[in-house]
């Protein structure tokens, strides 16, 4: 793009668009983190592993010649199932323990899955055999990648769906009551075990879908693809407000745009300085984030 | 000692000191994921001091002092945040430090920094022993008691007139100082520093050593670092599978022994076994 005589404005517009499209995937990861923090006050470090599994499993199936629909379906079944297994080890069987314990267990799962994938896939990034390839359209002077645009749209739909589940369904009502107080909601007849399982399932599917969309959009997966995206997701979640669904989306879009603009106007090494400085300052100055934390989960009780 | 044994011993000592760096804040209930950042400050400060011609001891002390000051400066604002916020804030701090070091060309930038003075395993052992003695001494003082009290019930401790905030700031600062020592001895043992080395994973391992060993006694982190550094090393022939095993160990240990390997109960039971 730089060599085309379209002027600085279009390059800026192009980069902002690229950033926004990347932000959709960050938003899924941020929301996945945000749900477990908002409801259980637990930073689930196995989310990067679920993200990675989503990408790697679908990639392996595509490479074996299966269709994209089946590959995505199997990837989501795997991440959903793994997330439910993780729920057993980080919540159900651990009741009444110190708050660090689930976090450490989830780290154990991260180490476990990353290394399992490392054994089977090797340490190099693998090309993602997406049937859509790198198709793109030209709008005005901008080049827009179609898979990324579609991924962004799917992310938005999933976030809205998640919002509706939390605010409109019985499961969501149960989750919001657990966010308020797990003990009281159990006394009032909420099946805490099943409700929390539902939340792990949602959070696992969001992360897994994020991984699939990442593969389709950027045509590469690797065993450590989750960690970097997860750190951005955590930053996005804090920026928007922990436990706040729209906050995760807003934060993710801002973080992704800042990241892409920093890469193109400063340098790729400066990205982490900027993103994490923003995060550090925010958490010290306005820990509730831009939209307020846990607001949507607790406010409508 | 053979080259291999020396290498393992050096890594083990660094891990043990790092485990104590993570242990101090954990002992009063704060999860600090910024150990790597403080280690980086200690390592680079010590490297710069020795590059300016200062002796090994002075450089290492300087590195520790730099990390301690950084710890104090960070802990005062960071401790306004609590729980999960504190964890994320320390994580962000550590990433900022690593990212800045990666971008400062006078400190080697992305290509790394060569460190002058070499430290043998013997002096490293001395440094580790000093850290151990300090921690053991703390555990017998009123401050050590306050740490445990704050970990078990912060509000209850405040009711008894303990300044919880002061205890927390001290714990985080002392932990940062230990991390500085770990970073400094790492720098002078391997004579090479790379900003990428001081990442989240390093902080995570330090925390894991402390938690897996157990927080109830000051010996816990030592046991944790010892077991979880040496056992993977013994299983080296199994290559990547040892990390899978490490992950499984963490999960099972948290399920079956959430208080860590070495608990107070276990210590109480030891003499009874002997007499029986």
Least CA distance to A110: which residue of chain B? B247
Which residues lie closer than 8 Å to A172 by C-beta, 6 or more apart? A165, A166
Closest by CA position to A80, among listed A248, A234, A200 = A200
- With an 8 Å Cβ cutoff, are A100 and B26 in contact? yes
Chain A residue nearest residue B203, CA to CA: A107
* Diameter over CA atoms, chain B: 64
- Closest alpha carbon within chain A to B245: A112
**Which residue from B minimizes the CA distance to A271?**
B99
Residue B133: is it exposed, middle or buried by C-beta count within 10 angstroms (0-12/13-18/19+)?
exposed
**Helix locations, chain A, DSSP H:** 8-40, 47-63, 68-90, 100-121, 146-168, 170-180, 182-187, 192-218, 225-240, 245-265, 270-285, 295-299
Of A98, A113, A283, the CB nearest to B92: A283
- Closest of B65, B17, B37 to residue B178, by C-alpha: B17
Residue of A107, A116, A119 lying closest to B250 (CB–CB)? A107
- Sorting pLDDT into bands at 50, 70 and 90, what band is A300? very low
Residue stretches of chain B with pLDDT short of 70 = 1, 81-82, 237-238, 271-276
Please state the pTM of the whole predicted model: 0.88
User: How far away is chain B from the Cα of A42, in angstroms, using its nearest Cα?
Assistant: 8
A47-to-A3, A129, A145, B16, B116 alpha-carbon distances in Å: 40, 24, 27, 29, 41
Which residue's structure tokens are 């099943």? A194
Q: φ, ψ for residue A132 (rounded to 5)?
A: -90, -15
pLDDT given at position B87:
86
Contacts of A98 in chain B (CB under 8 A): 258-259
Q: What are residue A127's DSSP bridge partners?
A: A220
User: Across the interface, do B246 and A111 touch by the CB < 8 Å criterion?
Assistant: yes
How far apart are the CA of B70 and the nearest CA of chain A, in angstroms?
Answer: 15
From B54's Cα to the closest Cα of chain A, the distance in A is 31
Q: Best mutation site among B247, B248, B253 for testing chain A: the one with the most A CBs within 10 Å?
A: B247
Class of domain A8-299: mainly alpha
Lowest mean pLDDT among A128-132, A228-232, B213-217, B239-243: B239-243
- Tell me which chain B residues have a C-beta less than 8 angstroms from the C-beta of A91: none
- Whole-number pLDDT of residue A2: 45
Residue range A142-201, pLDDT digits in tens: 788 888 999 999 999 999 999 999 888 888 888 888 888 888 888 888 888 899 999 999
Range picked from A68-82, A86-100, A124-138, A177-191 for highest mean pLDDT: A68-82
Nearest by CB: B80 against A112, A273, A284: A284
Q: What pLDDT is recorded for position B271? A: 65
Measured between beta carbons, the chain B residues lying within 8 angstroms of A227 are: 200
Give the residue from A39, A96, A112 with the most B CB atoms within 10 Å of its CB, the best one to mutate.
Answer: A112
Give start and end residues of each alpha helix (H) in B1-141: 3-27, 35-51, 56-78, 84-103, 121-138
pLDDT of res. A99: 75
pLDDT-based confidence at A301, cuts 50/70/90? very low
Q: Band the pLDDT of A294: cuts 50, 70, 90.
A: low
A-B contacts (CB, under 8 Å)? 121
In sequence order, which residues have a C-beta less than 8 Å from that of residue B246 and are 6 or more positions away?
A108, A111, B228, B232
- Pick the range with the lowest mean pLDDT from A9-18, A77-86, B235-244: B235-244
Distance CA B208, CA B221 (A): 9
Beta bridge mates, A136: A145
Measure Cα distances from B41 to A184, B51, B115 in Å.
46, 15, 14
CB B235 within 8 A of CB B242: yes
* Distance of alpha carbon A169 from the chain centroid: 22
Q: Do B45 and B166 contact (CB within 8 A), yes or no?
A: no
Interface contact A277-B240, CB threshold 8 A:
no
A286 vs B contacts (CB less than 8 Å): none
* A145 bridge partner residues: A136
pLDDT at A1: 44
Domain limits, chain A: 8-299
Residue A221 has pLDDT above 70, yes or no: yes
Residues of A in contact with B254 (CB under 8 A): 89, 94, 101-102, 104-105, 108
Listed residue (A34, A32, A68, A35) closest to A52, CA to CA: A32
Q: Which residue has tokens 């932990």?
A: B175
pLDDT in tens, A19-67: 999 999 999 999 999 999 888 888 899 999 999 999 999 999 999 988 8
The answer to whether B185 touches B120, Cβ cutoff 8 Å, is: no
Which H/E stretch holds residue A224?
none
Q: What is the ipTM of this complex?
A: 0.84
Residue A252 has pLDDT above 90, yes or no: yes
User: Within a 10 A sphere around the Cβ of A274, how many other Cβ atoms?
Assistant: 18
Give the nearest chain A residue to B32 (CA atoms).
A100
Contact B241 A119 (CB under 8 A): yes
Please tell me what DSSP assigns to residue A92. Answer: G
Taking the alpha carbons at both ends of chain A, their separation in whole angstroms is: 50
SS3 A221: strand
Q: How far apart are CA A20 and CA A249, in angstroms?
A: 10
- Give the integer Cα–Cα distance in Å for A113 and A128: 19
Residue B116 to chain A, least CA–CA distance (Å): 27
pLDDT in tens, A99-118: 788 888 898 999 999 999 98
pLDDT tens for each residue of B65-89 = 999 999 999 888 877 766 778 888 8
Which of left, alpha, beta for B199 (phi over 0: left; psi -120 to 50: alpha)?
beta
- pLDDT for B276: 43
pLDDT of residue B155: 85
Contact between B247 and A111 using a beta-carbon 8 Å cutoff: yes
Sequence-distant (6+) residues with CB within 8 A of B269 are none
Contact A44, A247 (CB under 8 A): no
Give me the residue from B98, B207, B255 closest to A89, CB to CB. B255
DSSP assignment of B196-263 equals GGSSHHHHHHHHHHHHHH-SSSTTHHHHHHHHHHHHHHHTGGGTTHHHHHHHHHHHHHHHH-TT-SS-
Contact A238 B246 (CB under 8 A): no
Chain centroid to CA A67: 24
Identity of the residue in A109, A112, A273 whose CB atom sits nearest the CB atom of B103: A273
A-side interface with B, Cβ within 8 Å?
37, 41-43, 89, 93-94, 97-105, 107-113, 115-116, 118-119, 227, 231, 234-235, 238, 242, 269-273, 276-277, 279-280, 283-284, 287
Q: At which residue do the structure tokens 């009032």 appear?
A: A188
Q: Find the CB nearest A273 among B88, B96, B244.
A: B96
Reported residue count of chain A is 301
The minimum CA-CA distance between A231 and chain B, rounded to whole Å, is 9
What is the mean pLDDT of the segment spanning A1-16?
69
Backbone angles phi, psi at A137, to 5 degrees: -120, 160
Measured CA distances, B96 to A181, B38, B196 (Å) = 35, 11, 12
A66-85 mean pLDDT: 94
pLDDT level of residue A74 (50, 70, 90 thresholds): very high
B contacts of A279 (beta carbons < 8 Å) = 88, 92
């Amino acid at each position: 793009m730089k060599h085309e005589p379209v002027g600085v404005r279009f390059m800026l517009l192009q980069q902002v668009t690229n950033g926004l499209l990347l932000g959709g995937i960050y938003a899924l990861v941020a929301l996945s983190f945000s749900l477990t923090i908002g409801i259980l006050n637990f930073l689930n470090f196995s989310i990067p592993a679920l993200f990675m599994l989503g990408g790697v499993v679908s990639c392996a199936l595509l490479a074996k010649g299966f269709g994209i629909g089946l590959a995505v379906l199997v990837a989501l079944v795997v991440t959903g199932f793994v997330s439910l297994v993780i729920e057993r080890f980080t919540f159900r069987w651990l009741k009444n323990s110190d708050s660090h314990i689930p976090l450490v267990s989830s780290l154990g799962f991260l180490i476990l899955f990353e290394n399992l994938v490392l054994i089977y896939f090797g340490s190099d990034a693998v090309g993602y055999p997406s049937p859509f390839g790198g198709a793109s359209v030209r709008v005005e002077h901008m080049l827009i990648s179609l898979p990324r645009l579609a991924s962004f749209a799917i992310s938005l739909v999933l976030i809205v769906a998640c919002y509706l589940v939390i605010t409109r369904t019985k499961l969501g009502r149960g989750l919001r009551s657990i966010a308020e107080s797990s003990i009281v909601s159990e006394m009032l007849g909420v099946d805490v075990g099943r409700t929390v399982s539902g939340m792990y399932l949602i959070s696992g599917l969001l992360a897994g879908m994020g991984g699939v969309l990442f593969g389709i959009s950027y045509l590469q997966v690797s065993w450590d693809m989750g960690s970097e995206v997860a750190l951005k997701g955590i930053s996005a979640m804090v920026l928007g407000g922990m436990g706040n669904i729209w906050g995760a989306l807003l934060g993710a879009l801002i973080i992704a745009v800042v990241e892409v603009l920093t890469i193109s106007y400063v340098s790729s090494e400066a990205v982490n300085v900027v993103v994490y400085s923003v995060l550090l300052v925010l958490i010290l100055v306005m820990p509730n984030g831009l939209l307020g934390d846990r607001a949507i989960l607790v406010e409508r009780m | 000692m053979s080259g291999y044994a020396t290498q393992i011993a050096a890594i083990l000592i660094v891990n043990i000191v790092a485990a104590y760096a993570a242990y101090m804040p954990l002992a009063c209930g704060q999860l600090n994921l910024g150990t790597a950042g403080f280690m980086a400050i200690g390592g680079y400060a010590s490297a710069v001091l020795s590059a300016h011609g200062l002796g090994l001891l002075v450089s290492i002390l300087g590195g520790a002092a730099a990390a301690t000051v950084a710890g104090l400066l960070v802990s005062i604002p960071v401790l306004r945040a609590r729980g999960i916020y504190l964890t994320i804030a320390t994580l962000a701090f550590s990433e900022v430090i690593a990212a800045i070091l990666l971008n400062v060309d006078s400190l080697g930038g992305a290509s790394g920094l060569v460190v002058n003075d070499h430290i043998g395993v013997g002096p490293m052992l001395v440094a580790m022993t000093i850290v151990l003695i300090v921690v053991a001494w703390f555990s017998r003082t009123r401050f050590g008691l306050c740490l445990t009290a704050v970990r078990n019930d912060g509000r209850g401790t405040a009711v008894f007139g303990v300044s919880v905030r002061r205890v927390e700031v001290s714990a985080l600062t002392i932990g940062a100082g230990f991390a500085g020592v770990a970073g400094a001895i790492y720098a002078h043992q391997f004579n090479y520093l790379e900003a990428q080395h001081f990442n989240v994973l390093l902080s995570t391992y330090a925390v894991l050593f402390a938690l897996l060993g157990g927080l109830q006694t000051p010996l816990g982190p030592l046991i944790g670092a010892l077991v979880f550094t040496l056992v993977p090393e013994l299983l080296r022939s199994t290559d990547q599978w040892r990390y899978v095993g490490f992950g499984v160990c963490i999960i099972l240990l948290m399920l079956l022994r959430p208080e860590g390997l070495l608990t107070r109960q276990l210590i109480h039971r030891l003499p009874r076994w002997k007499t029986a």
